[in-house]
Amino acid sequence: MSVLTPARATGRITRINPVAKLAASLVLSAFLLVTIDWVSAAVALALESILFAWAGLGARAFFRRTIAIWIAAPLAGITTLLYGVTDGQIYFQFWLIHISDGSIALAIATVLRILAIGLPAVVLFATIDPTDLADGLAQVWHLPSRFVLGALAGMRLIGLFLQDWRHLELARRARGLGDTGRIRRFAGQAFALLVLSLRRGSKLATAMEARGFGGDTVRTWARPSTFGAAEWLLVVIGAAIGATALAVATVSGSLNFVIG
């Protein structure tokens, strides 16, 4: 199964309209972006773990999909530790680097915040079927269908491009260029991939036009995309987690606005 055709309808979360997942994730992020403090991030993370358990994505799949965030969060934390806003006692100082009480607190907050924002974003996206997403974007959110479908049709070529990339790589070895110049070779392959993709894109556009795409007729949709109670519930859950996190942070006095 490719990324474009994940098995449909397994696990509760998969059946929910993708635009609801998108919305829930964005709403939740919007709340958490307001502040940088460890309390709100920790509360959100705790509430989200319940959501993750409910989503029915196995532990293995969960960590495989989110590995990038588990790596990136501590790295961003280190950056903040070194260059964070200085406050309280300073423990170490060199050029722009100041490690202080303030930067330590901010570093912890940064790590938790990235996890709290990033994990649900990835988990909700992991179960999205692109075709369903396109249906939702065009039918529920009423984004222009020509662009939504054009993008979707382009996505279908992912598999072909991966195959192209592999052949481009093998061909370079076969032509005696595989021994040296990795960066140069990468650039060359990237260029060749762009040429191939432009070719395929032009042909695909002709094929789509030949099937009446982009005409003046108002198009119909073979598969309806609906936004019902389950979808609203997910968005409300997202908002509730964010609001609760902010409320707890406010009450505990740890709220720390990003802007201002």
Partner 1 sequence: MHATTTTTVRSTKPASGAGRRGSYRWRVVDIVVASVIGVASGLIFWVWGLTYTPLSTGLEALLPGAQGLTGGVWLFAGVLGGLIVRKPGAALFTELVAAIVSALVGTQWGVLTLVSGLVQGLGAEIVFAIFLYANYRVYVAVLAGAGAGLAMGINDSIFWYAGNSADFKTIYIICGTIGGAVIAGLLSWIVVRALARTGALNRFAAGREVTARV
Partner 2 sequence: MPSRVPANTQADAVADGSAAGASLRASGWGWRHAGRAAWALRGLDLAIEPGERVLLLGASGAGKSTLLQAFAAVLGGADEGEEEGELTVDGMPPASIRGRAGLVLQDPDSQIVLARVGDDVAFGCENLGVPRHEIWPRVDAALEAVGLGSAGSDAAPGRGSGLDRAHPTSELSGGQKQRVALAGVVAMRPGILLLDEPTANLDPGGVEEVRDAVAGVLRESGATFVVVEHRVDVWLEVVDRVIVLAPGGGVLADGAPDAVLGARGAELAADGVWVPGQDPLGGAPVRTRERTLPSHEPASVPASAPELLLSTHDLAVARMPGRPVASGIDLEIRSDTATALTGPNGAGKTTLALTLAGLLPPEGGEVSASDALRAESGHPDAPTPDAPRSAWRPGRRRPRAPGPDPLSWSSRQLLTRIGVVFQDPEHQFVTGTVRGELEVSLKALGLGHDEIAERVHEVSDRLRLGSLLAANPYTLSGGEKRRLSVASALVARPRILILDEPTFGQDSRTWAELVRLLAEQMRRGTAVVAVTHDRAFIEALADHELVIGGRSTPTSATPTSATPTSATPASATTASATPTSAPAAPE
Of 159-218, which residues contact partner 2 (CB under 8 A)? 159-160, 164, 167-168, 170-179, 188, 192, 195-196, 199-200, 203-204, 206-215, 217-218
The helix/strand/coil state of 98 is strand
- Answer for which of 52, 140, 143, 153 binds partner 1 (CB under 8 A) is 153
Q: Which long-range contacts (CB under 8 A, 24 or more apart) does 38-41 make?
A: 38/105, 38/108, 38/109, 38/112, 38/254, 39/245, 39/248, 39/249, 39/252, 39/254, 40/113, 40/245, 40/246, 40/248, 40/249, 40/254, 40/255, 41/109, 41/112, 41/113, 41/115, 41/116, 41/245
Distance CA 100, CA 128 (A): 42
92 binds partner 1 (CB under 8 A): no
Judged by CB under 8 A, which stretch of 43-51, 148-156, 220-228, 244-252 contacts partner 1? 148-156
| Minimum CB distance to partner 2 smaller for 61 or for 198 | 198
Taking the complex as a whole, the smallest distance from the CB of residue 172 to partner 2 amounts, in Å, to 7
Taking the complex as a whole, the smallest distance from the CB of residue 233 to partner 1 amounts, in Å, to 18
Distance CA 217, CA 199 (A): 27
Q: Are strands 90-94 and 97-100 parallel, antiparallel or unpaired?
A: antiparallel
- Residue 258 partner contact from partner 2, partner 1, none using kind-dependent CB cut-offs of 5 to 8 Å: partner 1
For CA atoms 16, 22, 26, 27, the dihedral sign is: negative
Taking the complex as a whole, the smallest distance from the CB of residue 123 to partner 2 amounts, in Å, to 22
**Do 200 and 160 touch, CB atoms closer than 8 A?**
yes
- 214 to 243, contacts with partner 2 by CB under 8 A? 214-215, 217-224
200 binds partner 1 (CB under 8 A): yes
| Minimum CB distance to partner 1 smaller for 78 or for 243 | 78
Distance CA 85, CA 108 (A): 13
242 binds partner 1 (CB under 8 A): no
* Closest-CA residue to 92 (of 84, 80, 100): 100
- Residue 233 partner contact from partner 1, partner 2, none using kind-dependent CB cut-offs of 5 to 8 Å: none
Note the residues at the interface with partner 2 (CB under 8 A). 1-2, 4-5, 8, 130-131, 152-153, 155-156, 159-160, 164, 167-168, 170-179, 188, 192, 195-196, 199-200, 203-204, 206-215, 217-224
